[in-house]
Amino acid sequence: MRVKTRPGPITRTRIREINGSVARDRRDDLATEEPLEIRLTAPDGERRTVAITMRTPGHDFELAAGFLHGEGLVRPGGIAAIAYCTDEDLPPEARYNTVTVHIRGPIPDLPALDRHFLTSSACGVCGSASLDALHDRCSPIPDGTLRISPDLLYGLPEALRAAQGVFGKTGGLHAAGLFSAGGAPVAVREDVGRHNAVDKLVGWAALTDHLPLAEHVLMVSGRASYEIMQKALAAGVPVVCAVSAPSSLAVELAKEFGVTLVGFLRGERCNVYAGEHRLLMD
């Protein structure tokens, strides 16, 4: 095992920087990427590994809780405790890359567990393969009272960027941020995987009894993919904004489940792909 101590979000390395015809050696900071194994333990002692994902260390317990909630494996209130694994079968250097989630009931017998998730920081975890399957565990977002102005939207990308501490040092991380109806940042998380950043936010909400996030706006630093929309829907987020484009299935999900989806949010312009009724226009 390469990691000898608890991994952090930043890894230092030496590089050769070339600028024109001049070369110099210097230190550089990289975004850490390490595997995280998520294990479930039931009261009867049954244990199962449900996911192995590549992530940036930090907020690992939130990542595990958010992943389990987004995939419908654990309901709100169903987690009794989360801890790094101390099983004797793990070498000490691997223990901070393994999280055990103690649940209050039996381990669910779901196809997702039989599939045994294995994901990378690039591809994400799709979960349900279709919108029809998503209806089995997610309800449409109620219309509610949340209404936001374009001016509020225009300020979100910069507010998200200002909260990205690790990105400022490495330039290699995605971010996801939760904002209040007034545009104030509530929580921001970073990760090499955009879906992991969203899982960390959902996990924070699950572990602090903030679900559903009916009065919040989710802002992501990259594109709006199906897996991000799925996780936002499971958390009850009514408005999702992205710096880049959405995918076709993300737009279809937004329209079918009543989510406001905003893409290409840059400067003072954006595209609204679904749920335009939540925008306050003059």
The answer to the question of whether 233 is labelled as a binding residue is: no
Which three-class secondary structure state does DSSP give residue 262? strand
8 is in an annotated binding site: no
Those residues whose C-beta lies under 8 Å from the C-beta of residue 261, and which sit 6 or more positions away, are 224, 229, 240, 246, 250, 251, 254, 272, 273, 274, 275
Question: What is the C-alpha separation between 38 and 174, in angstroms, rounded?
Answer: 21
Q: Binding residue per annotation — 118?
A: no
Give the closest residue to 260 by CA, choosing from 282, 281, 229, 234: 229
31/12 Cα distance (integer angstroms): 9
Contact 49, 119 (CB under 8 A): no
**Nearest Cα to Cα of residue 34 among 14, 8, 15:** 8
Residues 101 and 79: beta-carbon distance below 8 Å: yes
User: Does residue 194 have a known ligand-binding role?
Assistant: no
Measured CA to CA, the distance from residue 237 to residue 16 in angstroms comes to 44
Q: Which two tokens stand for residue 43?
A: 């009261």
Question: Do the annotations mark residue 55 as ligand-binding?
Answer: no
85 labelled catalytic: no
User: Is there a binding annotation on residue 158?
Assistant: no
Active-site pick, 85, 123, 126, 138:
123
Share of the chain residues as helix, strand and coil, in percent rounded to the nearest 5:
30, 30, 40
Return the residue matching tokens 């991994």: 7
* C-alpha triplet 190, 228, 169: angle, nearest 5°: 15
Q: What is the DSSP string of 45-107?
A: S-EEEEEEEEE-SSSHHHHHHHHHHHTTSS-TT-EEEEEE---TTS-GGGGGGEEEEEESSPP
- Binding-site members are 264-269
Catalytic residues, by residue number, are 123
